[in-house]
C-alpha cells in the first residue's frame, strides 16, 4: 500500500531511480504519507529512530558505511530543527543526507496553528540546495516538484557531496492509502564529466614539483581509499615528499609520517626554517592538530595547492596559490609518468624526528601512572586489528592520535564541526551496517549528551563503547584559558558524577568497568573476547588532575629532549 499523495509517490520513485534505498524515519503524523509509502515499498529499507537529533547523526554513520546517500524523514515543527546539528556536520564532512521534512501548508504558518514553524529554507546555510515542494497536484505542479526533487538528489552527490533539504507541505487527509504501483517518473541525470588539465598546465605543475626541495603533502580527514594510498605512496617515494597524516586520514603507508602533535613539539623555533615547505599540497577535510596549523601559518610555504573536487577555496594556511579541482587519486596518478626521482633529505629529516618522538612517547606512557594517556595506549593495544574505530570529540580524538594506529583499522570521527552531541549516534549508525567490530571511544559528557543513541533497535553485537570517565570536560583543564578561569569548575569542566552503568543496563548492554591499569588490561581481554556475544560498554575511571598533569608533562618531555 502507498499514500495517494502524488508528490510522495514521485519522490519514492525518484529515490529508487537514484539508488537511494536507506531511509531513517522518525515518527509523526504530518509525515504519514511518506511513512506509509516508503515502508510499503520492499526495496526501501526503513529504519525507525524517535529522537531526530540522534536519527540524523545515525544517518551520517550509515551513509559513511554504505558510501551512499541516506534519506531522513520527520514530521513538522521542532522535529525538523533537531536535524540541524547533524546536517551541519554532514555539510562540513561532505556527506550526502537527503533531508525530507513534512510541513503544514504555508497558509497555516504563523497562524496559531499547532506544530507549525517556518520550515522553508531552515537549513539553507548547511545544504547545497533546499526546496519546498508545491502543495497542489496539478500536472504543472507535479512537473515542477519532480524537477526540484531530481535537482536535489543530483546535487547531493555531485562535486563535493553535501546534504540537501526537501520540505514537503502536506494537507489532510494524510492517511489515504491505495493499492498501486509507483508512477513512472522522468529521471533527470547530472553527468559529471571528468575534465583533465591540459598538457601545458601539467608540465608547469611538474616543473614546480621538480624545483621544490621540500614538498609537504598534508592529508586531512579522508574515507578509506586504497587506490589513493597507493598512488600517493608512489608519488612520495619518487619526489621525496613528506606525507603528514592523522588516523582520520585513513592512510597507513610506513613512509608517511604520523604523530603530528609530538613532531610539532619536537621542532624547535630555530629549526623551523628546515621544516618549512617550499610546496604544500593539501587534500581531504579537517585536520585535528592545531599546532601544525599554527606552524604552517607561521612558516608559510612558497606555494600551496589544494586538491578538491568542488573547487572550493580552502585557504587554511593563509598561503593558497592554486585550487586544483580534481579527485586527489587522479591528481597523483597523472604525475606518475611525469616526475623524476629526487633526493630525500627533507623526508629523512622528518622521519628521524618521528622515530625519536615515538620512542619518547612509548617510554613516557609505559612508566607513567594510570591516566587517560595510558588508558589510550592500552586500549590501542587491545582493539582487534582490521576493525572500525570511532573517536569522540574533545580529548579522546587527541589522545588516540598521540598513539599508533591500530593495524588495518578504519577511523571515523565527527570532525566536520567537532560537536560532542552525536558521536555515539554516528558510531551506532555505522556499526549497524558493518560486519566488523566497531569501537567508539568517547568522553563522559559526550556519552551522556548522546545516550539516546542507544534508544533504537539497531544496536548490534559488534558494538563496543568505551567511556573515558574523567569526571567532566577534561579538555578544558588541558588547554590554557579555560583552565585559568575562575569559572573553570562550574562552567567549563562541569563536574559529572553520573555513571554510565545504569544507562548501559537500561538499554540492554553488558557493562564493564576499570579503575586502574591491571583492571583495564584484564577487562579489555574480556570485552573483546569471542565469548562476548552482545554489545558492551566499558567505563574507565580516571582522575582529571592527573590526566592534565601527565598530558602536559608528555609534551614538555618531548620539548626538552630536542
Ligand atoms: C554540541 C557541543 N557542545 C559543546 C561543545 C564544547 N565542548 C568541547 S569538549 C567539551 C567537553 C567534553 O567532555 P567529555 O566528553 O567528558 O570529554 P573530555 O573533555 O573529558 O575528554 C565540550 C562541552 C562541543 N564541542 N559540542
Ligand atoms: Mg570527560
The reported pLDDT for the residue numbered 479 is 87
Contacts of range 355-363, beta carbons closer than 8 Å, 24 or more positions apart:
356/266, 356/561, 356/562, 357/259, 357/262, 357/263, 357/265, 357/266, 357/558, 358/259, 358/262, 358/404, 360/262, 360/557, 360/558, 360/561, 361/259, 361/262, 361/402, 361/403, 361/554, 361/558
pLDDT tops 80 at residue 194: no
Q: Give the ligand whose atoms come closest to the C-alpha of residue 415.
A: 1
438 alpha carbon to ligand 1 midpoint, in Å? Answer: 22
The reported pLDDT for the residue numbered 166 is 98
Choice from 473, 483, 500, 539 to test ligand 1 binding pocket (greatest atom count within 8 A of CB)? 473
Contacts of range 549-552, beta carbons closer than 8 Å, 24 or more positions apart:
550/368, 550/369, 550/371, 550/373, 550/374, 551/371, 551/372, 551/373, 551/395, 551/478, 552/478
pLDDT tops 90 at residue 42: yes
The reported pLDDT for the residue numbered 127 is 98
What mean pLDDT comes out for the span 323-330?
A: 94
The reported pLDDT for the residue numbered 204 is 94
The reported pLDDT for the residue numbered 413 is 98
Choice from 420, 478, 487 to test ligand 1 binding pocket (greatest atom count within 8 A of CB)? 420
Percent of residues, the chain, with pLDDT higher than 90: 94
Cα 316 from Cα 299, distance rounded (Å): 13
548 in contact with ligand 1, CB cutoff 6 A: no
Q: Give the ligand whose atoms come closest to the C-alpha of residue 441.
A: 1
Strands ordered across the beta sheet of 388-391: 410-412, 388-391, 438-443, 463-469, 536-541, 510-514
User: What Å distances lie between residue 312 and 161, 249, 306, CA to CA?
Assistant: 12, 19, 9
DSSP state of 407: T
474 alpha carbon to ligand 2 midpoint, in Å? Answer: 5
474 in contact with ligand 1, CB cutoff 6 A: yes
Cα 37 from Cα 182, distance rounded (Å): 9
481 alpha carbon to ligand 2 midpoint, in Å? Answer: 18
What mean pLDDT comes out for the span 442-453?
A: 98
Model pLDDT for residues 281-313, shown as the tens digit of each residue: 999 999 999 999 999 999 999 999 999 999 999
Q: How confident is the model at residue 453 (pLDDT cuts 50, 70, 90)?
A: very high
356 alpha carbon to ligand 2 midpoint, in Å? Answer: 30
Indicate which residue's Cα is closest to atom 13 of ligand 1. 473
Q: How confident is the model at residue 75 (pLDDT cuts 50, 70, 90)?
A: very high
273 alpha carbon to ligand 2 midpoint, in Å? Answer: 38
Model pLDDT for residues 513-551, shown as the tens digit of each residue: 999 999 999 999 999 999 999 999 999 999 999 999 999
The reported pLDDT for the residue numbered 399 is 98
* Run of H or E including 469: strand 463-469
Residue 484 or 350, more confident: 350
pLDDT tops 80 at residue 10: yes
Which residue bears the cell 538499554?
507
277 in contact with ligand 1, CB cutoff 6 A: no
Cα 365 from Cα 33, distance rounded (Å): 57
Q: What's the half-sphere exposure (Cβ side, CA atoms, 13 Å) at 348?
A: 5
The reported pLDDT for the residue numbered 103 is 98
Residue 71, helix vs strand vs coil? strand
393 in contact with ligand 1, CB cutoff 6 A: yes
Nearest to 183 by CA among 1, 2, 5, 9: 9
Q: How confident is the model at residue 192 (pLDDT cuts 50, 70, 90)?
A: confident
Nearest to 347 by CA among 407, 274, 293: 274
Residue 294, helix vs strand vs coil? helix
Cα 103 from Cα 101, distance rounded (Å): 6
Of ligand 1's listed atoms, the one at least distance from the Cα of 469 is 16
Q: How confident is the model at residue 342 (pLDDT cuts 50, 70, 90)?
A: confident
pLDDT tops 80 at residue 195: no
b/e sequence 366-378, b meaning 16+ C-beta within 10 Å: eebebbbbbbbbb
Of ligand 1's listed atoms, the one at least distance from the Cα of 372 is 21
Cα 57 from Cα 425, distance rounded (Å): 5
Cα 131 from Cα 129, distance rounded (Å): 7
SS3 string of 203-262?
A: HHHHHHHHHCCCEEEEECCCCCCHHHHHHHHHHHHHHCCEEEECHHHCCCCCCCECCHHH
Percent of residues, the chain, with pLDDT higher than 70: 100
Of ligand 1's listed atoms, the one at least distance from the Cα of 444 is 16
The reported pLDDT for the residue numbered 198 is 85
Give me 121's grid cell: 529554507
413 in contact with ligand 1, CB cutoff 6 A: no
Q: How confident is the model at residue 196 (pLDDT cuts 50, 70, 90)?
A: confident
Q: What is the mean pLDDT of the chain?
A: 96
The reported pLDDT for the residue numbered 52 is 98
The reported pLDDT for the residue numbered 45 is 98
421 in contact with ligand 1, CB cutoff 6 A: yes
Q: How confident is the model at residue 389 (pLDDT cuts 50, 70, 90)?
A: very high
pLDDT tops 80 at residue 344: yes
What's the pTM value of the predicted model, to 2 decimals? 0.98
Q: Give the ligand whose atoms come closest to the C-alpha of residue 394.
A: 1
How far apart, in Å, do the first and last CA atoms of the chain sit? 71
Of ligand 1's listed atoms, the one at least distance from the Cα of 418 is 25
Q: How confident is the model at residue 341 (pLDDT cuts 50, 70, 90)?
A: confident
pLDDT tops 80 at residue 61: yes
Amino acid at each position: 500500500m502507498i499514500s495517494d499523495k502524488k508528490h510522495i509517490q514521485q519522490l519514492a520513485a525518484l529515490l529508487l531511480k537514484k539508488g537511494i534505498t536507506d531511509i531513517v524515519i522518525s515518527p509523526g503524523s504530518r509525515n504519514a504519507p511518506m511513512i506509509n509509502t516508503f515502508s510499503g515499498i520492499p526495496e526501501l529499507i526503513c529504519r525507525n529512530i524517535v529522537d531526530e537529533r540522534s536519527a540524523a547523526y545515525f544517518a551520517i554513520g550509515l551513509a559513511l558505511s554504505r558510501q551512499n546517500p541516506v534519506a531522513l524523514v520527520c514530521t513538522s515543527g521542532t522535529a525538523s530543527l533537531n536535524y540541524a546539528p547533524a546536517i551541519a556536520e554532514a555539510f562540513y564532512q561532505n556527506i550526502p543526507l537527503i533531508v525530507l521534512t513534512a510541513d503544514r501548508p504555508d497558509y497555516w504558518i504563523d497562524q496559531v496553528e499547532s506544530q507549525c514553524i517556518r520550515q522553508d529554507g531552515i537549513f539553507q546555510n548547511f545544504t547545497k540546495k533546499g526546496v519546498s515542494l508545491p502543495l497542489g497536484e496539478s500536472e504543472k505542479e507535479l512537473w515542477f516538484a519532480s524537477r526540484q526533487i531530481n535537482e536535489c538528489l543530483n546535487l547531493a552527490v555531485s562535486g563535493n557531496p553535501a546534504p540537501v533539504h526537501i520540505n514537503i507541505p502536506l494537507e489532510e487527509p494524510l492517511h489515504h492509502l491505495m493499492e498501486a504501483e509507483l508512477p513512472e517518473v522522468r529521471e533527470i541525470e547530472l553527468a559529471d564529466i571528468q575534465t583533465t588539465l591540459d598538457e601545458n598546465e601539467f608540465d608547469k605543475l611538474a616543473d614546480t614539483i621538480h624545483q621544490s626541495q621540500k614538498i609537504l603533502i598534508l592529508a586531512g580527514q579522508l574515507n578509506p581509499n586504497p587506490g589513493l594510498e597507493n598512488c600517493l605512496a608512489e608519488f612520495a617515494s619518487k619526489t621525496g615528499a613528506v606525507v603528514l597524516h592523522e588516523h582520520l586520514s585513513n592512510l597507513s603507508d610506513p613512509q608517511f609520517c604520523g604523530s603530528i602533535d609530538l613532531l610539532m613539539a619536537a621542532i624547535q623555533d630555530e629549526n623551523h626554517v628546515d621544516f618549512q615547505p617550499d610546496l604544500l599540497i593539501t587534500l581531504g577535510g579537517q585536520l585535528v592538530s592545531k599546532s601544525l596549523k599554527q606552524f604552517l601559518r607561521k612558516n608559510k610555504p612558497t606555494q600551496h595547492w589544494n586538491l578538491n573536487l568542488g573547487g572550493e577555496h580552502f585557504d587554511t594556511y593563509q598561503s593558497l596559490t592554486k585550487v586544483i579541482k580534481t579527485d586527489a587519486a587522479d591528481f597523483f596518478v597523472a604525475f606518475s609518468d611525469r616526475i623524476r626521482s629526487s633526493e630525500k633529505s627533507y623526508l629523512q629529516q622528518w622521519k628521524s624526528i618521528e622515530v625519536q618522538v615515538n620512542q619518547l612517547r612509548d617510554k613516557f606512557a609505559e612508566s607513567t601512572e594510570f591516566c587517560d594517556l595510558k588508558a589510550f595506549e592500552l586500549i590501542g593495544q587491545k582493539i582487534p586489528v582490521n576493525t572500525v574505530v570511532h573517536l569522540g570529540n574533545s580529548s579522546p580524538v587527541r589522545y588516540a592520535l598521540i598513539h599508533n594506529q591500530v593495524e588495518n583499522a578504519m577511523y571515523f570521527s565527527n570532525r566536520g564541526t567537532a560537536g560532542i552531541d552525536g558521536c555515539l549516534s554516528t558510531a551506532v549508525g555505522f556499526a549497524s551496517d558493518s560486519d566488523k567490530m566497531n569501537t567508539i571511544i568517547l568522553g563522559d559528557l559526550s556519552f551522556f549528551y548522546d545516550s539516546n543513541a542507544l534508544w533504537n533497535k539497531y544496536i548490534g553485537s559488534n558494538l563496543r563503547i568505551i567511556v573515558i570517565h574523567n569526571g567532566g570536560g577534561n579538555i578544558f583543564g588541558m588547554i590554557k584559558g579555560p583552565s585559568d578561569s575562575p569559572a573553570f569548575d562550574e562552567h567549563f569542566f562541569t563536574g559529572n558524577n553520573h555513571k554510565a552503568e545504569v544507562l548501559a543496563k537500561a538499554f540492554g548492554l553488558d557493562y564493564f568497568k576499570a579503575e586502574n591499569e591491571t583492571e583495564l588490561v584484564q577487562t579489555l581481554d574480556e570485552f573483546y573476547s569471542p565469548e562476548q556475544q552482545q554489545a558492551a560498554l566499558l567505563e574507565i575511571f580516571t582522575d582529571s588532575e592527573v590526566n592534565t598533569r601527565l598530558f602536559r608533562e608528555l609534551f614538555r618531555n618531548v620539548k626538552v629532549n630536542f
